[in-house]
Amino acid sequence: MKAEMINPFLESACSVIEQVIQVSPSTGNLGVKEVMREQDHIWIQIDMTGHYSGMVMFGLEETVALRIVSAMMGGFVLTEMDEMGQSAISELGNMISGNASTILSNQGYVVDITPPRVLTSKQEDSNQIPRKALCIPLLMDGIGELDIQVMIS
């Protein structure tokens, strides 16, 4: 897997986060790690087909997801990730992935993305087999961290 494959998702995530929650994220260190769903996290999974196939996962601690959703909803404070919160965090993943697929298209790579799937660490995933992913954290001052994991073949 080429390291530059994460760049469209990183560029898109930074842009969307700046627009939606008015925070300019900074990037952590790029790495390769085995994908695991960590406790107290919410995961947004987007599958891709086309020139590249695989998946992208965005991981957030639940408290970070609640802060992002609250910012997306104009400051309305959520205390638990209810159906409305899951819909909002799902839309964030959709916006990031949609913009990334546009960036890829502009580079000559046609990819189709699936609707986002929101997963929690409490849910079992029958498709969860050990895989390696390119990972990079986005650090959002005052909000927390968004982990971007790209698994593309």
For 85, which DSSP code? H
Helical residues (DSSP H) of the chain, grouped into ranges: 7-21, 62-72, 83-106
Give me the tens of pLDDT residue by residue for the chain, a chain 153 residues long.
566 788 999 999 999 999 999 999 999 998 888 776 667 899 999 999 998 889 999 999 999 999 999 999 888 888 888 999 999 999 999 999 999 999 999 999 989 999 999 998 665 554 555 578 899 999 999 999 999 999 987
Which of helix, strand or coil describes residue 137? strand
Predicted TM-score (pTM) above 0.85: yes
| Domain spanning 3-26+40-152, CATH architecture | 3-Layer(aba) Sandwich (3.40)
Domain residues of the chain, as ranges? 3-26+40-152
Residue 102 to residue 111: CA distance in whole angstroms? 9
